[in-house]
Each structure stands twice: as C-alpha cells, then as structure tokens.
C-alpha cells in the first residue's frame, strides 16, 4: 500500500466482530482521508453495515480499534461517537414517525431558552439550514406523513446538520428518486469540499464511480481489496473482487417465448389510485414498471394483489377473476406480490428464515391435511438458501439478524416456493441488493418467465428496467403514460414519459 499523502482522518485497525454463529468481521482495517469519499463495497452480508455500526458506537468490536486523527477511540454508545464528530446514516432508517421533521433533525439537541424548548429558534434554524442545503421539506410535517424517499432525505440531512467531521452513509440512495439522489450527490460534493471524511456504501456501482475517491471491498467479513483511487479501475474489476467471479453483463437478458395473456388488469381503482388503470402481462413476459417515486406504481400493484381495497375494475389471471381485496384468493390464483418495504411489509423479523420462506407454501404440504410438515419445510428452506445464496448460519436464524439483501432473497423465496406460480409482482426487488445477487435474482426472474410465469417488476432504476424487462410501462401521477417494447425503450424516452409534464425531460445534472 502506498502511503497516503495526508494522514488518515479515520482509521479502522484489525476490527473483528462475531455474532452467535456468524463471524461478521475478521481483522479488517482501512483508512479514510479528510476531504475524500471512501466507497465501501461488498456482497450482502459482507459486513459493511456492521462496520458502520461499530463506527457509530452501536456495536463494540470484539477485536481491533477505531482511530480518529490517529487517536484511538473507545465508543461504548452512540452518544460517544456523536461527541467525537461521527455521524452515521444507518441502512435501516432511524426516525421517529410521530415527531416533526424539525424535531427529528434536532433529535437529542433541541435548543432551549430558560430550560424550555425554543421552538421558534429551532424552526428558524431548521428552515435556514434546509434552504441552504437546497432541500425542500416542511420542517413541521410529521415524518410519518412523508414518503419513504423524503424520510430518507430527512435522515441524510440530520446527519449532515450535525456538522460532524466524519460522515458515513449506508446505502442512502436505496429509496431515493433520481432527483433526490441528485440533491444528495451535490450535498456530498459540498461536504467533500469542506474537508469532511466520508464513507459511502452502495450497491450501485455508477454511484461509486461518480462519487468516490477511494474504495474498499469486503467479502465474507474480510477485506479483499483496497483502491486508493478509482482512476482506471473498471467496473468489472470491482465486481470480480466483490463476488469472486466474473459476471459479465449483469442483466444477462435472455429472450424467451411469450404465451397468452396471463394477467389482465382492467380499469382498476383504489383509494390511492383514482384514475382507472389497465394493463396486461403475457405468460413468459417480464414487464418493467418505471416511474418516479410517488408515481403510484406500488399503490396500483397493492390494489391488484388485494393488499389495499380495490374500489373498481377487474383483475383476471388466466381468465379467472381474482376476488377484490382478497389476498388469499390472489395467492390461490397464483398471483403473488413482493412488497417494497421489506422491514414493514416483508419479513417477520423474530421468526426464522425457514418460517419466513414457508409461511405461504406450507398449506400445500400438510400431513393429514392438518399438521405442518417440518421435514418438507426444512428441505424447501435449504433449497432456496442454497439457490439464492442466502447468507445465514442456518435456516433457524431469526431473519431480522440477516443483512438486508439476504432478507430480500428470503422474501422472494417465499413466492418461489409456491407450487402453482402464475403471476409474480416484485416491487423494487433489487433494492439494497449486491451486484452478484442482483444477477441471481434476474436469473430467477428469467427462469420463472421461461416457465411461463408472468412477471411484473417495479423498479426505480432505469438501467435495470431497460436491461431486464421485455416491455416497459411508465407511470406518472397515478396514471400509465406510455409503453415501450424492448428495443424501443431507451433512457430518454422512458424518462420523458415518466416525468410529469412541464418538468425537464433531460436527466438532471443541473446542480
């Protein structure tokens, strides 16, 4: 390793951390310079978030130490890290839903006057800072009334407003729209100019290339590579170091035969879907739904699935009508749905990986029509753990202890285990998923499609939609605005169709 010109602001030395049955980190060390953005890459479960939690004082490492400006730190709780000038934006958003944006931003350090909270000063300060950062948020809005993206933005601003000298961002863009991402990038660049040391974790390699000065790659809780600069480093090198094999084209699109119409949605409306929505998906077809955050894609799919009340319209699978607002009827018809909010709607945290995988499919494997077939369930769980490479010590691990990406794979497995799968709707299936696993998930989608399953994929990542889908449907403000067959679709026309009229159609890099 060539010596850095400036002494590192932040240094991890021989960090080790073990959870029961999992060695999350072993002898890992790297350093981050002031005025630089350091990318942290690795597969799901590689230990990135664990490292950040150590930095944030949430976990105490079993071995090794963290040093700031050469001085060894002993963080025992989050407040210690904050006091030392560290701000961490955690992968799992940590906000208080009932409190206002202002109070969330100033959590733990509200200004007071004569012992009482000085709300006016706080409001003024918050407004000024938000304006200065160019972030449009109402300081008085309650967090629970904001979209996920806006909440994420609050988290980011909260960390930035701490004026910390070290800032770690753990997958901050996973639920941000293009536009919010732009804001974030601008903020990060400003902070770099101010001389902050930053760690940036993302599974989106473009972001790493765009933003980072240096990078470290983790695999299986160890460091496998350090890049002092990303000049001249290719995407394939990074992927290869991360995954340990060559992936080539990550999308690896495979054309396939398409059959009859499987899923037909006609004039469906719901509480959050005011204008009727109609579309069709054929057997073997993968349809990508693209739109900006808030375009209403999740809403419409939730209504189709029955998770939200359907107020009008018909949904048919292979010509058979699916009962409105009745999830179990949808599942019986072979129509299933993977929600976007994994933690709230996807996993059952305190139950095991196996339970999470078998929760629905087990009804088909009952002994004597009554008793759960444990052996069969174990087999099913192990099959998918292996097939999707779910990183877990064993199938009985509580799923909340898995890394985010691995939780996502388990939720997907739940539906893959369905006997008679006909329509699969996945909402942001690769959110927070590593490159290797993305590739695996795409392959699973292709495989399903090849078996004749109709696949609907909601995604906010344009390259993914373009790379995987046979057909792209764009949505904007709760309406379908356009359709493109594969080949016709490109960045410009898809984005233009997804943007509300009046907004500029060019990708915005105008900061």
Partner 1 sequence: MTETNAAAIGATRETQADRRRALLWHIVDDYSLILIFIVLFAVLSFTVEYFFSWDNVVGLALSVSQIGMVACTMMFCLASRDFDLSVGSTVAFAGVMCAIVANASGSVVLGIAASLVAGAVIGAINGVVIAKLKINALITTLATMEIVRGLAFITSHGQAVGVTSEAFFTLGALELFGLPVPVWVTVACFVVFGVLLNKTIYGRNTLAIGGNPDAARLAGVAVDRTRIAIFLIQGVVAALAGIILASRMTSGQPNAGEGFELNVISACVLGGVSLMGGRASISGVLVGVLIMGTVQNAMSLMNIDAFYQYLVRGAILLIAVLVDQLKNRRQSR
Ligand X SMILES: Nc1ncnc2c1ncn2[C@@H]1O[C@H](COP(=O)(O)OP(=O)(O)OP(=O)(O)O)[C@@H](O)[C@H]1O
Q: Is 270 a residue that touches ligand X (CB under 6 A)?
A: no
SS3 130: helix
What is the C-alpha to C-alpha distance for residues 478 and 298, in angstroms, rounded to an integer? Answer: 10
Q: Report in angstroms how near the CB of residue 71 gets to ligand X at its nearest.
A: 25
Piece of 1-9, 47-55, 250-258, 345-353 that binds ligand X (CB under 6 A): 47-55
Q: Is 294 a residue that touches ligand X (CB under 6 A)?
A: yes
Contacting residue, 6, 94, 194, 490, with partner 1 by CB under 8 A:
94
Q: Within 426-485, which residues bind partner 1 (CB under 8 A)? A: 476-477
Nearer to ligand X, 246 or 344 (CB): 344
Piece of 36-44, 196-204, 354-362, 445-453 that binds partner 1 (CB under 8 A): 354-362
Q: Is 369 a residue that touches partner 1 (CB under 8 A)?
A: no
Binding track, positions 358-397, relative to ligand X; x by CB under 6 A: ---------------------------------x------
What is the C-alpha to C-alpha distance for residues 305 and 334, in angstroms, rounded to an integer? Answer: 11
Whether 409 contacts 388, CB under 8 Å: yes
Q: Report in angstroms how near the CB of residue 328 gets to partner 1 at its nearest.
A: 5
What is the C-alpha to C-alpha distance for residues 372 and 378, in angstroms, rounded to an integer? Answer: 11
For helices 119-133 and 148-160, give the axis angle rounded to 10 degrees: 100
Contacting residue, 31, 202, 258, 298, with ligand X by CB under 6 A:
298
In 3-state terms, the chain is what percent helix, strand and coil (to 5)? Answer: 35, 25, 40
Residue 409 half-sphere exposure toward CB, CA atoms < 13 A: 31
Q: Is 45 a residue that touches ligand X (CB under 6 A)?
A: yes
Contacting residue, 404, 429, 436, 452, with ligand X by CB under 6 A:
404
Contacting residue, 15, 41, 46, 499, with ligand X by CB under 6 A:
46
Q: Report in angstroms how near the CB of residue 404 gets to ligand X at its nearest.
A: 4
What is the C-alpha to C-alpha distance for residues 209 and 231, in angstroms, rounded to an integer? Answer: 9
Contacting residue, 36, 91, 173, 181, with ligand X by CB under 6 A:
91
Nearer to ligand X, 181 or 258 (CB): 181
H/E element holding 129? Answer: helix 119-133
Q: Is 140 a residue that touches partner 1 (CB under 8 A)?
A: no
Q: Is 403 a residue that touches ligand X (CB under 6 A)?
A: yes
Q: Is 224 a residue that touches partner 1 (CB under 8 A)?
A: yes
Nearer to Mg ion, 279 or 446 (CB): 279
DSSP for 354-389 reads: HHHHHTTGGGGG-BTTTB--HHHHHHHHHHHHHHTT
Q: Report in angstroms how near the CB of residue 90 gets to ligand X at its nearest.
A: 10
Nearer to ligand X, 225 or 261 (CB): 225
Find, among 265, 260, 399, 242, the residue nearest to 322 by Cα. Answer: 265
* Ramachandran sector of residue 414 (left: φ over 0; alpha: ψ -120 to 50; beta: rest): alpha
> Given CA atoms 430, 334, 346, 293 in this order, what sign does their dihedral have?
positive
Q: Report in angstroms how near the CB of residue 177 gets to ligand X at its nearest.
A: 7
Q: Which residues pair with 199 in a beta bridge?
A: 38, 168
56 binds, among partner 1, ligand X, Mg ion, none (CB under 5 to 8 A by kind): partner 1
What is the C-alpha to C-alpha distance for residues 141 and 249, in angstroms, rounded to an integer? Answer: 43
Q: Report in angstroms how near the CB of residue 456 gets to ligand X at its nearest.
A: 12
| Alpha carbon separation from 491 to 41, 78, 425, 431, 466 (Å, rounded) | 26, 42, 23, 20, 8
Piece of 77-85, 255-263, 280-288, 487-495 that binds partner 1 (CB under 8 A): 77-85
Nearer to partner 1, 104 or 173 (CB): 104
What is the C-alpha to C-alpha distance for residues 61 and 72, in angstroms, rounded to an integer? Answer: 13
1 binds, among partner 1, Mg ion, ligand X, none (CB under 5 to 8 A by kind): partner 1
What is the C-alpha to C-alpha distance for residues 476 and 123, in angstroms, rounded to an integer? Answer: 33
Nearer to partner 1, 450 or 505 (CB): 505
What is the C-alpha to C-alpha distance for residues 222 and 46, in angstroms, rounded to an integer? Answer: 8
Q: Report in angstroms how near the CB of residue 450 gets to partner 1 at its nearest.
A: 25
Find, among 56, 45, 51, the residue nearest to 29 by Cα. Answer: 51
* Residues forming the site for ligand X (CB under 6 A): 19, 22, 24, 42, 44-50, 91, 145, 147-148, 291, 293-299, 340, 391, 401-405, 428, 434, 458, 460
């Amino acid at each position: 390793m060539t010596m850095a010109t400036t002494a590192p602001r932040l240094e991890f030395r021989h960090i080790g951390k073990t959870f029961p049955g999992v060695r999350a980190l072993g002898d890992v060390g790297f350093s981050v310079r002031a005025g630089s953005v350091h990318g942290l890459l690795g597969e799901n479960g590689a230990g990135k978030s664990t490292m950040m939690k150590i930095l944030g004082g949430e976990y105490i490492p079993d071995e090794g130490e963290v040093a700031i400006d050469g001085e060894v730190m002993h963080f025992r709780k989050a407040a210690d890290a904050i006091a030392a000038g560290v701000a961490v934006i955690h992968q799992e958003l940590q906000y208080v839903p009932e409190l206002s944006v202002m109070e969330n931003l100033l959590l733990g350090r509200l200004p007071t006057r004569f012992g009482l909270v000085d709300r006016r000063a706080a409001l003024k300060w918050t407004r000024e800072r938000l304006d200065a950062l160019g972030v449009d948020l109402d300081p008085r809005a309650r967090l629970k009334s904001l979209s996920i993206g806006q909440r994420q933005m609050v988290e980011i601003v909260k960390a930035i407003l701490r004026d910390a000298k070290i800032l770690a961002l753990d997958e901050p863009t996973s639920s941000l729209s293009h536009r919010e991402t732009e804001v974030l990038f601008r903020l990060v660049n400003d902070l770099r100019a101010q001389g902050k040391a930053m760690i940036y974790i993302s599974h989106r390699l473009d972001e790493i290339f765009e933003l980072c000065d240096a990078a470290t790659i983790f695999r299986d809780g160890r460091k496998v590579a350090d890049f002092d600069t990303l000049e001249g480093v290719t995407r394939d090198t990074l992927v290869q170091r991360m995954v340990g094999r060559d992936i080539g084209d990550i999308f690896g699109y495979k054309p396939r035969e398409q059959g009859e119409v499987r899923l037909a949605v006609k004039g469906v409306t719901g509480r959050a879907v005011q204008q009727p929505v109609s579309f069709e998906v054929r057997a073997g077809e993968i349809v990508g739904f693209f739109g900006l955050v808030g375009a209403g894609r999740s809403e419409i799919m939730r209504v189709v699935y029955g998770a939200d009340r359907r107020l009008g319209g018909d949904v048919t699978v292979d010509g058979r009508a699916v009962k409105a607002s009745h999830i179990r009827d949808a599942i019986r018809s072979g129509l299933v749905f993977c929600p976007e909010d994994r933690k709230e709607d996807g996993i059952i945290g305190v139950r095991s990986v196996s339970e999470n995988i078998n929760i629905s499919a087990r009804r088909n494997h009952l002994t004597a029509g009554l008793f759960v077939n444990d052996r069969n369930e174990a087999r099913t769980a192990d099959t998918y753990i292996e097939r999707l490479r779910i990183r877990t010590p064993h199938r009985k691990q509580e799923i909340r202890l898995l890394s985010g990406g691995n939780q996502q794979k388990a939720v997907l497995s739940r539906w893959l285990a369905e006997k008679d799968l006909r329509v699969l709707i996945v909402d942001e299936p690769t959110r927070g998923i590593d490159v290797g696993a993305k590739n695996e998930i795409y392959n699973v989608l292709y495989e399903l499609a090849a078996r004749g399953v109709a696949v609907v994929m909601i995604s906010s990542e344009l390259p993914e939609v373009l790379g995987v889908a046979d057909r792209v449907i764009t949505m904007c403000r709760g309406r379908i605005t356009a359709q493109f067959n594969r080949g016709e679709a490109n960045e410009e026309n898809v984005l233009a169709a997804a943007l509300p009229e009046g907004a500029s159609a060019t990708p915005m890099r105008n900061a």
